[in-house]
Structure 1
Amino acid sequence: MPLRLLLILGALSAFGPLAIDFYLPAFPAMAHAFASDVEHVQLSLAVYFVGLAIGQLIYGPLADRFGRRPPLLVGVLLFALASLACALATSLEWLIVARFVQALGGCAGMVVTRAVVRDLCDPIASAKVFSQLMLVMGIAPILAPLAGGLLLGSLGWQSIFVCLALFAALCLLAVALWLPETLSREAAPAPLRGALGEYRRLLGDRPFIGHALTGGLSIAGMFAYIAGSPFVFIELYGVAPAHYGWLFGSNAAGFILAAQVNAWLVARHGPGHWLRRLVWFYLGCGLALLSLAMAQPPALWPLLLPLFGCIASLGVLLPNATACAMAGQGRHAGSASALLGSLQFAIAASAAALVGALHDGTAWPMAAVICGCGVLATLASRLTYRVERRARPS
């Protein structure tokens, strides 16, 4: 894939992480500005998650009917305008509504990026490209809060959303100038009235659903880690808030490294081969993490090694599960990408909520949810492999 196209797709993939992580340091300042508290400001994050889950289901059929470019251009423009609305918000209610609209625009990049990769690449090449795009998912959570903190200290919280709007404007220009239409026009466009039928077909596609669940349950472990690690690291084991970023960053570095190694591995055995094997490694690390958490060690370091293994293995599991799920979807790749993203995001958000619901003042809830995700992901992977093996001609 040409470098320029890869850079555009990487930028489009960054909408989600940037809009989530960029403004996290500004929560206290925003709470003060709106005469509220941090807990209520967090609603603007929750509503963004809801918008992502809903919006992806809308863009999928649009991308299959009208092509990849038109829905993407509309979505990026909507994200830019909603980001400006967030910067101009005079009340928390205004901000929450603007964040929901921002999510509806931002998820266009997530859906269309996967569809474009599927249009242009076979499963092995797709896995390589998705592995390269994992750089964005790994780097953005490290750099976004740092950049947000710098902007907050110098220009105020509104500047964060102005920067998101400028970023979206640059992406809009890049898409308009350099992103070609990748949907083949050889076949008739998919009618919008068939969208629900297409989603029903995909839900009945057992290999697709199996790979989607494997990836979704795997990434749910990361969401459980994101939800639980601030308490475990800072409050339970006394890690200084300034040092938390270094621990978080080291796990993200493992994720990035594994993703780049995966781009080399899939050329030898294909994404399905490594997906089936690395899911067992993820499960083993999850079991080790749960065992150690139940022992309640007096120091944090025993938990760090299996936790690092869990997060790093996602650099292999996520791109390969995506490539396997998208394989064979053809001109319905937009709908497949949308359902894939919505399923994975719904599972991951549920895992993060479960960590909070199980909170008992120990590391056990985080470890238990991560381990449970590993068990279910391994089961989904094994069942999917059996379905695919039975479907092969003898």
Structure 2
Amino acid sequence: MADTGTTLAEPAPSAAQRGHRPRRLPLVLVLGSLTALGPLTVDLYLPALPRVGADLHVSPAVTQLTLTAYMVGIALGQLVVGPLSDTLGRRRPLLTGLSVYVVAGALCALAPDPGVLIGMRLVQGLAGAAGIVIARAVVRDLYDGLGAARLLSSLMLVSGTAPILAPVLGAQLLRLTSWRGVFIALTLLGLVVLTAGSALLSETLPPPERRHGGLPASLRTMRNLVRDRLFTGYLLTGSLGFAALFAYIAGSSFTLQEVYGASPQTYSLLFGLNSLGMVATGQLNSRFLLGRRPSHRVLGIGLTVLGAAGTALVLLVTVTHAGLPWIAVALFLTACPVGMILPTTTALCLQRAPHAAGSASALVGTTQFLMGALAPALSGLGGRANALPMAVSVLGLAVAAAGCFLALCRPWRPAPDPLAT
């Protein structure tokens, strides 16, 4: 595995350097909406999980396969769309993916059995991947170093605020309609994002800067990225942190509602509060930490808090008889540090691949979501009446993230801050 102190290639001139940087507010709104669509497709649907299982007469493990299928789809889709966007530009793959997402969402609403629903969720994930992977690539097209990290953190104002509202909206939708109505709402949301992206997002990768060589060149690029020790360290650290978050997301619906007695409305409010904490931490990260503290120190703080929250969860569900308020506090502290970990590790990965932002973004997204796809299965091992698998999953994944950070990034070694540009 390569161990170099510089990026893998000389930086290509960004759109900003060419004098074509778009206005920041429309850019944040559009890119934030694109990155929010993926989490929204999960979060709006979470309060409906118990009803899906009851309506289709399947176990919680089978019901959670609808989450796993979506996560696998969004992971593999990024692996295809990212390199494709390095070759074809950003707009065409984006608009095609969003169009397929809308069709798949409508078919989910009409699914007659669990097999069709799981299959359409897979297609929905494959298509929805376009928004996530291309939004990150556009950030790298336009910004370097600290600027990219701060923009990624700012995107959480949109991509993080939307999931705050999603479970609340999902719970309210369930008062008016069935789980199928939730998928109709997602289909309409996809149409809105497709329209906004088509109207407001211009091409950020002009033809002279696109890569050529087809699939073999893309595979070589990804191989070189994975062989870079620091890129892989940042990649695994962020992905395992994301998986810890998703272990909480996937397990909390059953845990809070069926173990601790929360109503769908209470659950959605707690989930929204936790998402708000993650957004607030992301803004703290952008405005007061990055640029003033070394990025490795910022990551260390985030990983420490995540590990402490996982430890608290395990203790609360094993050696105490703590009620819902204490569990809610521990879950809040699980969500918050991810607002520091994800944008920082993503920016560090993209900084090491200025020559292939789409491919690097694809590797980041694919690894994050593949690891996240394992979390629902881990969290559901104990059935409806056991919170321990969720707690152990959060702690184990947090420890693994910290281990990768220490082993591969070696933060104790003196070196210039990679984002200090």
Do both share a fold (TM > 0.5)?
A: yes
Kindly state the Cα deviation for residue 253 of structure 1 after the two structures are TM-superposed. 1.9
| In 2, Cα distance between equivalents of 1:203 and 1:86 | 35
> Residue 213 of structure 1 aligns to which amino acid in structure 2?
L
Partner residue, 2:358: 334
Q: Give matches, 1:245-324, under 5 Å.
A: 245-265=268-288, 266-269=290-293, 271-324=295-348
Kindly state the Cα deviation for residue 390 of structure 1 after the two structures are TM-superposed. 8.1
> Residue 80 of structure 1 aligns to which amino acid in structure 2?
V
Pair 1:202 & 2:225 matched: yes
Partner residue, 2:377: 353
Q: Give matches, 1:149-188, under 5 Å.
A: 149-154=171-176, 157-187=179-209
| In 2, Cα distance between equivalents of 1:242 and 1:114 | 33
- Which deviates the most, 364-373 or 322-331? 364-373
Q: Give matches, 1:88-167, under 5 Å.
A: 88-154=110-176, 157-167=179-189
Pair 1:55 & 2:64 matched: no
Kindly state the Cα deviation for residue 57 of structure 1 after the two structures are TM-superposed. 0.8
TM-score, structure 1 normalization: 0.88
TM-score, structure 2 normalization: 0.83
Find the residue that maps to 1:14 and give its secondary structure: helix
| In 1, Cα distance between equivalents of 2:128 and 2:243 | 20
Pair 1:86 & 2:108 matched: yes
| Residue ranges of structure 2 left out of the alignment (5+ in a row) | 1-22, 417-421
Find the residue that maps to 2:410 and give its secondary structure: helix
Kindly state the Cα deviation for residue 343 of structure 1 after the two structures are TM-superposed. 0.8
Kindly state the Cα deviation for residue 203 of structure 1 after the two structures are TM-superposed. 1.5
> Residue 372 of structure 1 aligns to which amino acid in structure 2?
G
Partner residue, 2:98: 76
| In 2, Cα distance between equivalents of 1:27 and 1:237 | 16
- Which deviates the most, 239-248 or 107-116? 239-248
> Residue 202 of structure 1 aligns to which amino acid in structure 2?
L
Query: Alignment partner for residue 35 of structure 2, among 13, 34, 37?
Result: 13
Kindly state the Cα deviation for residue 76 of structure 1 after the two structures are TM-superposed. 0.8
Cα deviations across residues 143-179 of structure 1 (Å, max 9, x unaligned)?
A: 2233234444445554433333332223223222221
User: 1:68·1:116 contact (CA, 8 Å) conserved in 2?
Assistant: yes
User: 2:105·2:186 contact (CA, 8 Å) conserved in 1?
Assistant: yes
Cα deviations across residues 20-59 of structure 1 (Å, max 9, x unaligned)?
A: 22234445666677x6446555443332122112111111
Kindly state the Cα deviation for residue 14 of structure 1 after the two structures are TM-superposed. 1.8
Query: What percent of counterpart residues are identical?
Result: 40
> Residue 268 of structure 1 aligns to which amino acid in structure 2?
R
Q: Give matches, 1:225-244, under 5 Å.
A: 225-244=248-267
Kindly state the Cα deviation for residue 205 of structure 1 after the two structures are TM-superposed. 1.5
| Residue ranges of structure 1 left out of the alignment (5+ in a row) | none
Aligned residues: 392
CA RMSD of aligned residues (A): 2.9
